[in-house]
Amino acid sequence: MFLLSACAILNAFSQDQSSLVLIPAPVSQKMMTGHFILPRSIVIEARNASSLEQSVQTLKTTLSRSTGYAVSVTSQASPTAAIHLVINSTPDPSLGTEGYFLTTTIKGVTIRANQPAGIFYGVQTFLQLLPKEIESTRPVKNISWMTPCVAITDYPRFSWRGLMLDVSRHFFTKQEVKAFIDQMVKYKFNLLHMHLTDDEGWRVEIKSLPRLTQVGAWSATRVGTFGTFPAPPANEVRDYGGFYTQEDIREIVKYARDRFVDILPEVDIPGHSLAAIASYPELSCTDGADQYKVRSGEKIMDWHKGGGFDALIDNTLCPANEKVYPFLDKVFTELADLFPFGYIHVGGDECAKNFWAKSDAVKQLMDKENLKTMEEVQSYFEKRVEKIVESKGKKVIGWDEILEGGHAPNAAVMSWRGVKGGIQAAKMGHSVVMSPTTFFYLDYMQGDAATEPPVYATLRLNKTYSYEPVPDSVDPKYIIGGQANLWTEQVYNTRHMQYMLWPRSLAVAEVLWSQKSKKDWNNFAARVEAAFPRMDVQQVKYSRAMFDAIISPKKDYNANDSIVVDLSTEVHGLDIYYSFDNSNPDNFYPKYTGTLNIPKDASWLKVITYRDGKPIGQQINVPVADLKRRAGLPDK
């Protein structure tokens, strides 16, 4: 209290939080006059040193490499230390297991928590209070290394705060996964879901099934638009891909655990299983061992216009094949040993049924088990899978399809096809992780299709931010949290992986950590803008699409065959300038003030955003023919 008052004396508590730029927003933050200045010789007091090792290391590394100052640690009570990390001897119930209390005064910094995780999150918050150069990996000169004086109380809204990384479609190395974890924890995510298997690769060594990685981890190298490539010739070298050895997995799991991140492993079955079937073709319902190859981006599914799909090659495990279950027993035995987290994800999504419908074995199974539909066949499979997983001491989680045709009794559900699966599951008493395409799919484009690598949908930052994970109609206790998913069919490298993650994952972090009452888009957008230069120092790539114009063409109901265009922005206070004459607009061009009619012979709309007379968004050029297509006019 004495230290706290040192700042308070200078001025009364101020509620003005304009200069605090924390993401995710804490439960409460009180700003006071005055600053904490890092001394040239920084002493960290950490009395429970062993349990606080990661917090101490994070501070030591981050503070010393950027400031060049000496940083030392003491496990003794040290009133003169600059930074005090304190585990409450009597737990404060309001902080739970992940909460913390952080004060910075002119005398020093104190982070208190009930558990080491809380201290670690307090450290992340403290680092965000320092100048952005604190993120530099080299000493930076002429910076005032100081924070405002603040008192922050903070704890999370949800306990499951996840990101999913698809390491199957494109393989990301152990080092890249660790760097991913380093980024996640800055924003207090605590769960990494690794999508370890799919048609494009099996990425985890299973010692009792060596072909899964000898064969299943390798495809032919292709660069370009995934999904459109011709099938590789039979004799083409397959050296694209890779896998994690069990040692790698143990290393990743430990790295994550040290940073309070659980790893949820996913084996996506019974669909999405071509890599497994290429390795062990006898697991399929359909003969033809030679045809099964790990997918190299060729077309293997036929997606029907109004929904529905058929597989062009049987990429499913056969639920009627008794060899499948001992195979899965081996897989889950080894996974359960490798991953300490309580859940194993068993996929279940997008399982094509057209080959099952032609299979005599499946027909016999349906007769024997009195299964009426293909969904019931999948449900039969899911229930057997659940028994296997539970026999290894783990709980099952799966995509919302696992509810179809009768649910797996104890499974938790990850709701991805919008929120209805999650609502249904919660009403049936299942635990639910919300992960809907409509708000939390990080493979979707962040801005206009004319500027982004092409993907089939757009999801802007403000839409992600607007998400409320607890639907009105359900008991909140069933919604254990949420996660955003980065599918990587179109993500060929780590720079693009970062670009797709940020800043949308900042919105995800805030939706999952911060209190609902804190939701304020304008305030958040300003904090995101302040986070960008910090990411520049971290050399992390991100999208600036939040500053771009949103182009919304629609049919002109006053005139056949023509359209009008609305322009808007996600961020408030921007001006939009446009041209139809093919030249590049600037702030001397017409400024958008209302719906645009397109001049009769115009071929391009070009738009750019400005703020306070300076360009801020990127110029977007869209052919008028594309605008018409977007508005739903038939192609001429």
* Residue numbers annotated as active site: 198, 272, 350
Which residue of this chain has its Cβ atom nearest to ligand ACM in the complex?
A: 349
Please report, for residues 227, 283, 549, the alpha-carbon distance to residue 455 in angstroms, rounded to integers and kept in the order given: 11, 32, 19
Least distance to ligand ACM, CB of residue 487, Å: 6
Enclosing H/E stretch for 249: helix 246-258
CA neighbor of 530 nearest in space, from 149, 18, 15: 18
Q: How far is the CB of 483 from ligand ACM (least distance, A)?
A: 11
Nearer to ligand ACM, 114 or 490 (CB): 490
CB 573 within 8 A of CB 617: no
CA dihedral sign, ordered 97, 182, 497, 397: negative
Residue 595 CB neighbour total at 10 angstroms: 12
- Beta bridge partners, 195, equal 166, 266
Question: Cβ of residue 475: shortest distance to ligand ACM, in angstroms?
Answer: 25
Instruction: Report the nearest approach of ligand ACM to the CB of residue 287 (Å).
Output: 27
Could you tell me which residues are beta bridge partners of residue 266? 195, 345
Rg (CA), the chain: 27
How many Cα atoms sit within 13 Å of 470 on the Cβ side?
Answer: 14
Report the 3 state secondary structure along 544-591.
CHHHCEEEEEEECCCCCCCEEEEEEECCCCCEEEEECCCCCCCCCCCE
| CB of 349 or CB of 556, closer to ligand ACM | 349
For helices 174-186 and 246-258, angle between their N-to-C axes, nearest 10 degrees: 20
Provide the minimum distance between the beta carbon of 349 and ligand ACM in the complex, in angstroms, as a whole number.
Answer: 4
399 near ligand ACM, rule: CB under 6 A: yes
- Using DSSP, state whether 202 is helix, strand or coil: strand
The single-letter DSSP state of residue 441 is B
Tokens of 410: 């104890």
Six token digits for residue 620: 């977007």
In this complex, which beta carbon is closest to ligand ACM, that of residue 350 or of residue 556? 350
Cβ 350 to ligand ACM shortest distance, Å: 5
Q: Is 350 in the site for ligand ACM (CB under 6 A)?
A: yes
**Residue type for position 129:** L
547 near ligand ACM, judged by CB under 6 A = no
Of residues 224, 273, 265, 217, the one with CA closest to residue 492: 224
CB-hemisphere CA count at 13 Å for 594? 0
Say how far apart CA 293 and CA 276 lie, in whole Å.
Answer: 9
Residue 398 CB, shortest distance to ligand ACM, in Å, is 10
Terminal-residue alpha carbon distance, the chain: 74
Distance between CA atoms of residues 510 and 21, nearest Å: 12
CB of 354 to ligand ACM, least distance (A): 17
**Token digits for 61?**
């590394």
What's the closest the beta carbon of residue 441 comes to ligand ACM, in angstroms? 7
Q: Does 529 bind ligand ACM (CB under 6 A)?
A: no
Tell me which of 243, 380, 416, 610 binds ligand ACM, using CB under 6 A: 416
CB of 131 to ligand ACM, least distance (A): 40
Query: Comparing C-alpha atoms, which of 113, 115, 93, 86 is closest to residue 101?
Result: 113
CB of 280 or CB of 399, closer to ligand ACM: 399
Angstrom distance (rounded) from CA 110 to CA 549: 44
Kindly state the DSSP code that residue 134 receives in the 8-state scheme: G
Q: Give the nearer residue to ligand ACM in terms of CB position, either 359 or 490.
A: 490
Least Å distance, CB 272 to ligand ACM, is: 8
375 binds ligand ACM (CB under 6 A): no
DSSP letter for 285, please: S
Tokens 């490798």 belong to: 338
| Nearer to ligand ACM among residue 176 and residue 350 (C-beta) | 350
349 binds ligand ACM (CB under 6 A): yes
User: In this complex, which beta carbon is closest to ligand ACM, that of residue 24 or of residue 436?
Assistant: 436
Sort strands 191-195 and 240-241 into parallel, antiparallel or unpaired: unpaired
- Could you say which residues in the range 230-269 bind ligand ACM, by CB under 6 A? none
Task: Return the closest-CA partner of residue 111 out of 141, 181, 379, 98.
Answer: 98
Name the 3-class secondary structure at 218.
strand
Tell me which residues in 586-625 interact with ligand ACM (CB under 6 A): none
Nearer to ligand ACM, 348 or 405 (CB): 348
Q: Which two tokens stand for residue 60?
A: 């030591």
Q: Residue 465 CB: number of other CB atoms within 10 A?
A: 23
- Least separation in angstroms between CB 399 and ligand ACM: 5
- 221, 240 in Cβ contact below 8 A? yes
Of the pair 87, 269, the CB lying nearest ligand ACM is at 269
> Looking at beta carbons only, is 154 or 489 nearer to ligand ACM?
489
Using CB under 6 A, count the residues that bind ligand ACM: 4
Report the residue number, 121 or 416, with the smaller CB distance to ligand ACM.
416
404: contact with ligand ACM by CB under 6 A: no
**Which CB, 350 or 575, lies closer to ligand ACM?**
350
For 413, phi then psi, to 5°, come to -120, 135
- CB-CB neighbours of 300 under 10 Å: 17
| Residues engaged in binding ligand ACM (CB under 6 A) | 349-350, 399, 416
